[in-house]
Amino acid sequence: MQSIRYRLFEFFIGFVLIPVSFVLEFQLWIKLVIGSLAFVYVTYVLLKVENNKFKIRQHINWTQFWQRTIIKFLVIAIITSIYVYIVDYKNLFEVIKSKPMLWVAILFVYSVFSVYPQELVYRTFFFQRYESLFRSNALFIMVNAALFSLAHIFFKNTLVMIFTFIGGILFALTFKKTKSTLLVSIEHAIYGCWLFTVGMGEMLGFPN
C-alpha cells in the first residue's frame, strides 16, 4: 500500500486539479491526452497496486439491485419528464422520435465508452484508494459525489453540476453496498440514457 501522503497527492491531482484545468481554454487534443494518461494510470494502479482482477463479483443480488434501481429510475423519470415538459417541451422525447438510429448508437457508445470508465475511476479506484482515509462513511460519500460533480464542471452548467452531484450520491451508495463496478455502471447508464432520451441530452454534451 502506498503512503497516505502519496495518495493525497494523487487525490488532488486526479480529482481536483485535472478536472478544474479542463475549464481553461486550451487545445482539445491536449485535454484528451491528459485524460487518457490519467485513465492509463488508474488502470495500472488498479491492476498492479490494488491487484484487481476485473471479474464480475459472485453472489450478486440481482433482484434487490433491480428493485432498488427501478424505484429510483421511476422517481427520476417522473421528475425529469415534468421538467422538460415545462421548460423545453419541443425537445421532449424528440431524439427517439426523429432520430431513432442516432439514439440507439449514442446509448451504446455512451454506456460502454463513457459510463464504465467513469465508474472505474470514480467508484472502483476512488473507493479502493481513499475510503480508508475517511472516518465517516457519510462524509466519504459526499466527497465522492462532490468530486464526481466537479468532473463535469467543464460543461459550465449549474443544473449539470446538481444532477451529477445527486447521481454521484446514488452511484456511491450503490457501489458501497454492492462493491460491483458492473452494477453501478448499469445504474449510471440507465439514468444517463434516460436523460438523453427524455430531451436533456444537449446540456450533457450528447450529439443532437
Separation between Cα atoms, residue 17 and residue 10, nearest integer Å: 10
Q: Per the structure, how many domains does the chain have?
A: 1
The pTM score is: 0.94
Band (189; pLDDT cuts 50, 70, 90)? very high
Range of the domain at 28: 4-204
Please state the rounded mean pLDDT for residues 99-125: 95
Is the pLDDT at 196 greater than 90? The verdict is yes
Between the alpha carbon of residue 138 and those of residues 60, 86, 88, 153, 202, the distances in Å are 24, 34, 35, 23, 32
What's the sign of the alpha-carbon dihedral 98, 99, 103, 104? positive
